[in-house]
């Protein structure tokens, strides 16, 4: 999947995190069967930190639809986790299937939940104290 101008949400730390997310989805999509489990784990590690960071910003800035947004993050982590289990049990190609589903998910999530959070943080003048490493 390619970075698109519409993904720039005007919140630099969030935009940087989203570029990393896309890189890891692409690495998983292009992974061999031997590489797929490690690539899936890398995407999961990133996503845990990515979503925890946004969840933290939501709490601190008082984002009204916080539960809806956290719920979407939880659902994605749960499905990535169950795919990892199946991939580790001998079906590594499933990792690539998940990479194929991520672009549509991200396109929608970025345009709705993340765009709303970025706009909210700008509106209330919230500046995050810590940025994901
Ligand atoms: Fe995000
Ligand atoms: Fe999000």
Q: Where are the domains of the chain?
A: 10-124
Specify the pLDDT at position 127.
84
pTM reported for the whole predicted model: 0.94
Of the ligands numbered here, which is closest to the C-alpha atom of 14? 1
Write down the number of H helices and E strands in the chain.
5, 0
Which ranges of the chain have pLDDT less than 50?
none
Specify the pLDDT at position 131.
59
How far, in Å, from the CA of 75 to the mean position of ligand 1?
14
How far, in Å, from the CA of 33 to the mean position of ligand 2?
29
Of the ligands numbered here, which is closest to the C-alpha atom of 18? 1
CA distances from 92 to 29, 38, 75, 78, 100 (A): 12, 10, 21, 17, 14
> Tokens in use for 120?
């909210």
From the candidate CATH numbers 3.40.50.620, 3.40.30.160, 3.60.40.10, 1.20.120.50, the one assigned to the domain spanning 10-124? 1.20.120.50
The whole-angstrom distance between residue 58's C-alpha and the CA centroid of its chain comes to 15
């Amino acid at each position: 999947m390619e970075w698109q101008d519409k993904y720039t949400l005007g919140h630099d730390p969030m935009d940087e995190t989203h570029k990393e997310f896309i890189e890891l989805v692409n690495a998983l999509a292009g992974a061999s069967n031997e590489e797929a489990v490690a690539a899936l784990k890398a995407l999961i590690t990133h996503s845990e930190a990515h979503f925890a960071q946004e969840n933290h910003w939501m709490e601190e800035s008082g984002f009204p639809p916080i539960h809806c947004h956290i719920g979407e993050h939880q659902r994605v982590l749960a499905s990535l986790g169950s795919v990892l289990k199946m991939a580790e049990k001998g079906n590594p190609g499933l990792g690539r299937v998940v990479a194929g589903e991520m672009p549509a998910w991200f396109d929608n999530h970025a345009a709705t939940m993340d765009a709303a959070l970025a706009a909210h943080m700008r509106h209330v003048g919230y500046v995050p104290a810590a940025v994901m490493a």
